[in-house]
Amino acid sequence: MTVDDRATNEPSTPRPASTGPLQGLRVIEMGQLVAGPFCGQILGDLGAEVIKLEQPGTGDPLREWGRTRPQGESLWWSVVGRNKKSVTVNLRTPEGQGIARTLISRSDIVVENFRPGTLERWGLGYDTLAADNPGLILARVSGFGQTGPYSSRAGYGSIGEAMGGLRYVVGDPSTPPSRVGISIGDTLAAVFAAIGTLGAVYERTRSGRGQVVDSAIYEAVLGIMESIVPEWVISGYQRERSGAILPNVAPSNVYPTADGGWVLIAANQNTVFARLAEAMGMPELATDPQFSTHGARGERQEQLDAMVGKFTVQHDARALEELLLAHSVPVGKIYRPEDMLGDEQFIARKSIITTPHPTLGEVPMQNTFPRLSRTDGSVRWPGPALSEHTDEVLTVVGEFTRDAIDAFRADGII
């Protein structure tokens, strides 16, 4: 479907126009929380029109998430819900399913992260939807994928992180397996779903046909786990938790500074290590057989880290950073949001932008990534109010009459 095939009525509330590369694609998002909606966020950031279907009265549970909720607003929702239109529809009713089917028939992509089989129970399986819209692409994010003996299990991101191998290698070796402090399993599955969706969109230009994109959380995690599988099968080597280091890669660690801070120094390559040794005032280390090669440094990793730490703790973080940068040694402070907001690189590239919110004023958040030179993505508005766009979408996209919309609302369908 192309943009020319659709209704062109202007929405009642003007909004910044999309200039991104996916302008002209329409997405129906039927997921909730993170795994599906982050895929929708990516597509929306890149310019697609994303219409989010939510349960009347409650909406996406993410609207209630977050450690702080100033003025009752979820800051997490303001990010993940950005660039989306909120439409409430009860998908557990035949009437709501009919509304969804109408909207989907006039769209390019559906994103969902319900337990496998849910759409089929609602009469919204891919075969049914594709009969109305053969070019439809259905991106499905779930814990274990749409097939296999585990497919019907409830699958949270944390479980996928555990089964995909990530949890085992995260943390200090003296503690049980740790977690990354964000929903990394969910977001990885969403990123892979977005990549697969874009691949399906491109393939559709040749075949004219849509398809299902099946992104499993545990497989998304497994997909980034480097060489852990062949290392075990071929070499019998099991990676273990190693804290802030990678075993036998040195020096590459977090080191203390005189002002109580921390910096990360990555100087494990031979030429870079020579420059670090020069900055430390110990240029002889670069030619010392105990440290001159990657293997030798790895064998003496603990000893070398202690030497580097003894050097770094003599300098304040800023002075240390300036010294190492002058020697072309990769170095970076351990940033928190307050550090990001004042950093000249973040400012120059507008890595963090603000977008107006009707209740909170200007809300800062991360920009869209990656950057495109001609048709860059954009943040056009933050997460919308629940049902903010119901009437607009049902009128413009669904072409329902005013009387029909009023009847849906009276019956609790929307």
CA 47 to chain centre: 16
Please tell me whether residue 171 adopts helix, strand or coil conformation.
Answer: coil
Please list, in sequence order, all residues whose beta carbon lies within 8 angstroms of the beta carbon of residue 36, skipping any fewer than 6 positions away: 29, 30, 111, 112, 113, 139, 141, 190, 193
For the CA atoms of the chain, what is the radius of gyration? 25
The answer to whether residues 218 and 165 touch, using CB atoms and an 8 Å cutoff, is no
Q: 110 - beta bridge partners?
A: 28, 138
Cβ contact 194:39 at 8 Å: yes
Are residues 331 and 325 in contact, defined by beta-carbon separation less than 8 angstroms?
A: yes
Residues marked active site are found at 186
**Residue 286 buriedness (CB in 10 A; 0-12 / 13-18 / 19+):** middle
**Cα separation, 299 vs 317, whole angstroms:** 28
Q: Which two tokens stand for residue 214?
A: 């099946």
Closest CA to 53 of 9, 100, 20: 100
Residues β-bridged to residue 50: 27, 84
- CA distance linking residue 183 with residue 190, whole number of Å: 11
Neighbouring residues of 237: CB distance < 8 A, sequence distance ≥ 6: 231
Asked if 240 contacts 297 with a C-beta cutoff of 8 angstroms, the reply is no
- Quick one: CA dihedral 222, 226, 227, 228, positive or negative? negative
Cα-based distances in Å from 243 to 15, 160, 246, 247, 248: 47, 21, 8, 10, 13
- Report d(CA 311, CA 3) in Å as an integer: 61
Cα end-to-end distance, the chain, whole Å = 26
Bond before 70 cis per omega within 30 degrees: no
For residue 159, which phi and psi values (nearest 5 degrees)? Answer: -70, -40
